[in-house]
Amino acid sequence: MSYLRHRVLALETPILLSLILLLVTFVAPSAGLSIENRAIVMLINVALVVGLYSFAGLSGVLTFGHMSFMGIGAYAGALVTIPVVAKGSLLPDLPGFLANAEVSLPIAILIGGGLAALFAAIISLPIARLPGLALSLAMFAVLIICYQVEANWDSLTRGRQALLGVPTNTTIWVALATAIGAMFVVFAYQQSRFGLRLRAAREDEYSAAATGVNIVRERRISLVISGALIGVVGVVYAQYLGVFTPNDFYLDLTFMTIAMLVIGGTRSLTGAVIGPMLVAVLTYTLQQGETVTGPGLQQVGLAIVMVLVLVFRPSGLTNGKELKLSTVVTRFRQGRADRNGRSSETDKAMTAVE
Amino acid sequence: MTDVIQAVVDALSLASLYALLALPVALIYGIMGLINFAQGELTMIAAYGLFLFAAVTLPLAVFMALVLVVVAALAMERVAFRPVRNSSEETLLVTSFAVSFLLQNLALIIFGSRPKSISTPSSLSQSFDVGGIFIDAVAILTVVLAVVCIGGLVLFMNRSRFGISMRAAAEDFTMARLVGIRANAVISATFAIAGALAGVAAFVLVVQSGSAFATMGLTPVIIAFVATMMGGLGSLRGALLGAAILGVITVGFDQILSEELRPARDAFVYGAVLLVLLVRPSGLIPSNRERV
């Protein structure tokens, strides 16, 4: 019994966050189709930002290029799911094995995620060796390279023209499953020895290296994991849109996801989940104002909020803390703030109280 | 033979433009550890300044654009970057990213998404035929402006009292403050210089393309990043070297790539830069700078 309780408590944060997302999934469709679509996009964003967090948050190096994995996943997933007949007229110059491929969504997810992970593994060879700031900028160069390739490889991607005819398999439940799956994978990674080593290097590069952490190796692992996750989200997102262009995985999305992560807080999984939810509400509000100002207000407002967060609360709204019922309970029982965020410590405190 | 000379001429003018773009980024990074995404938006602001005053006379437009962009640079530092000055380099970078996005979308709201065309004197758009080699007036202008700006900057940094303060601040900010160098003044001056250089670069870009638009700052700032990164973050000489190499390989890929691949030229250029970084992760001229 206590063993089971311990296991559940260890997974408390992702379970609580999943319950919140589940609630959204239950409630949103009853508020009409437009709200349901917003909820789907929000759930996809949660999965996306959680994927971004698995590198940017855990390593402490914000990257400007992770959306390249999303583009790779989206195009790979779309090319193997568009019906063979449609492909014949859309993309007549497609190589044979792609022209005749038509697989289900789960297989497409495996292919898209796998390809993005492979790409991440290849680029990690030079990228993971770079010092922090140069790494951010080099990833930006990777994003531009991917965009250029997608926008010009006409026979494979239709270039700047929209790729259409992608089956729209992504329901709100698929989006929910993606978000929850991403959260559990990243939480497991975060608590594993790999995640711990990466986080140690984030806190203090020199001390971590001195205790035997191979930072380059840990960053490489993290790049591949985040690449795979974001690739999967790319597949799912493409199957939601049905029609997309290379621009959908470029600068606007890069900015939006970074804003979500920064506003939520780069240093906890909870931040990566809360951020997209807050931004969804914020952009919805700002969009109502755009009828007056014309397009752009949404982005301006979001940028201002982001600068304010960076100035007044640089670690984001969650400030590096995870959502935990046990913390709340202990805090309540002890009648004072428990500043300790480590789950094992809190567990001990719980037992001691009992 | 003329092909080779033509390519050299092209590379020289491109490298000059890239140097104008890379210098302010390297300068600000050297002083306060900020990689400024919004540098591109300074170029955009200067270009819109040219657009607003181009109807009067060109010299006035250039002057007003320069004033406007320097004021914008100073305001940007005061409002957005001073409050986060002591944060990590990551935070600074993300802040500048937000500022850049903010300004871009403000421009979109104010000026709309269509490019605004700016007419420049026809004498600037002609091109000279020197023994089979075509030299654009813009190319000459770019090289001259780059030489004047770089020369002026070198003189300023080495000879003037203020320039020496700036170098001291770049070397060791805390120590410089301890010996009485005013931090705010130094950083403001750096931003003013960066603004002025953005104005010069904007002039060249506007003469080249004849228009101003909200997202025009993006390509320049990416080039500036790649050049400074390849040269070695925090080193001015590195930034110049990076800009020169970037200009040369860009022209080089233009020559060797086939017709179909040429639209994706930048992909090849940045790929080549990543390969350079594979061998030298800290750039060609690494600086051992410790930021405070």
In terms of CA atoms, which chain A residue is nearest residue B219? A144
**How is residue A103 written in tokens?**
């697989």
Which pLDDT tens digit goes with each residue over A183-221? 999 999 999 999 999 999 999 989 999 999 999 999 999
Task: Please answer yes or no on whether B233 and A255 come within 8 Å at the CB atom.
Answer: no
Q: How far is CA A305 from CA A211, B95, B110, in A?
A: 39, 11, 20
The continuous run of DSSP H or E covering B212 comes out as strand B211-212
CA nearest A130: which of B268, B230, B31?
B230
Q: Which residues contact B34 (CB under 8 A, 6 or more apart)?
A: B28, B81, B89, B92, B93, B96
The continuous run of DSSP H or E covering B133 comes out as strand B133-136
**For chain A, which ranges sit under pLDDT 70?**
1, 326-328, 330-332, 334-354
B206 domain-assigned: yes
CB atoms within 10 A of CB A86: 14
Task: Please answer yes or no on whether A62 and B93 come within 8 Å at the CB atom.
Answer: yes
The pair phi, psi for residue A129, each rounded to 5°, is -80, -15
B69 domain-assigned: yes
| Three-class SS state of B116 | strand
**How many beta-carbon pairs below 8 A join chains A and B?**
126
Q: Which residues contact B184 (CB under 8 A, 6 or more apart)?
A: B82
State how far the Cα of A61 lies from the Cα of A133, in Å rounded to an integer.
7
Query: What confidence score (pLDDT) does residue B50 get?
Result: 92
Q: Torsion over CA of A47, A52, A53 and A56, rounded to 10 degrees?
A: 180
State how far the Cα of B82 lies from the Cα of B98, in Å rounded to an integer.
15
The residue type at B219: T
Residues of B in contact with A129 (CB under 8 A): 277-278, 281
Residues of A in contact with B281 (CB under 8 A): 126, 129-131, 134
Q: How far is CA A53 from CA A45, A58, A219, A271, B170, in A?
A: 12, 7, 13, 9, 33
**For chain B, which ranges sit under pLDDT 70?**
288-292
Provide the percentage of residues in chain B whose pLDDT is more than 70: 98
Q: Where are the domains of chain A?
A: 10-247
Q: Torsion over CA of A311, A314, A316 and A317, rounded to 10 degrees?
A: -60
The residue type at B21: L
| Interface predicted TM-score (ipTM) | 0.84
DSSP string, A150-202: HHH-HHHH-TTSPB--------HHHHHHHHHHHHHHHHHHHHSHHHHHHHHHH
**Residue whose token pair is 């792609």:** A98
Looking at B112-235, list the stretches that DSSP marks H as alpha helix, in order from N- to C-terminal side: 137-159, 161-171, 173-178, 183-209, 218-231
State how far the Cα of B102 lies from the Cα of B105, in Å rounded to an integer.
5
DSSP string, B51-109: HHHTTT-HHHHHHHHHHHHHHHHHHHIIIIISTTTTS-HHHHHHHHHHHHHHHHHHHHH
Cα of first residue to Cα of last residue in chain A, in angstroms, is: 16
**A231 and A69 in contact (C-beta within 8 Å)?**
yes
Q: Which one-letter DSSP state was computed for residue A244?
A: B
Q: Which site among B97, B246, B288 would you substitute to test the A interface, given the most A Cβ atoms closer than 10 Å to its Cβ?
A: B97
Query: What confidence score (pLDDT) does residue A347 get?
Result: 47
Q: Which site among B94, B104, B253 would you substitute to test the A interface, given the most A Cβ atoms closer than 10 Å to its Cβ?
A: B94
Distance from CA of B231 to the nearest CA of A (A): 11
Query: Taking an 8 Å Cβ-Cβ cutoff, which residues of chain B contact chain A?
Result: 35, 80, 83-84, 87, 89-91, 93-95, 97-99, 101-102, 104-106, 108-109, 113, 218, 222, 225-226, 229, 233, 263-264, 266-267, 270-271, 273-275, 277-278, 281-283
Task: Please answer yes or no on whether B99 and A141 come within 8 Å at the CB atom.
Answer: no
B150 domain-assigned: yes
The residue type at A258: I
Task: Please answer yes or no on whether A300 and B109 come within 8 Å at the CB atom.
Answer: yes
B8 domain-assigned: yes
Task: Please answer yes or no on whether B281 and A144 come within 8 Å at the CB atom.
Answer: no
**B89 and A134 in contact (C-beta within 8 Å)?**
no
Task: Please answer yes or no on whether B97 and A311 come within 8 Å at the CB atom.
Answer: no
State how far the Cα of A165 lies from the Cα of A82, in Å rounded to an integer.
6
CB atoms within 10 A of CB B9: 19
The residue type at B197: L
Q: Torsion over CA of A131, A134, A140 and A145, rounded to 10 degrees?
A: -90
Task: Please answer yes or no on whether A310 and B91 come within 8 Å at the CB atom.
Answer: yes
Q: Torsion over CA of A75, A79, A81 and A83, rounded to 10 degrees?
A: 140
Task: Please answer yes or no on whether A300 and B226 come within 8 Å at the CB atom.
Answer: no
Tell me how many domains chain B contains.
Answer: 1
Domain of residue B86: give its range: 2-118+125-214
Query: What is the separation of C-alpha B241 from the centre of its chain, rounded to a whole number of angstroms?
Result: 14
**How is residue A123 written in tokens?**
């680029």
State how far the Cα of A343 lies from the Cα of B9, in Å rounded to an integer.
64
State how far the Cα of A66 lies from the Cα of A146, in Å rounded to an integer.
11
Task: Please answer yes or no on whether B102 and A310 come within 8 Å at the CB atom.
Answer: no
State how far the Cα of B50 lies from the Cα of B103, in Å rounded to an integer.
17
Residues of B in contact with A255 (CB under 8 A): 97, 101
State how far the Cα of A171 lies from the Cα of A93, in Å rounded to an integer.
31
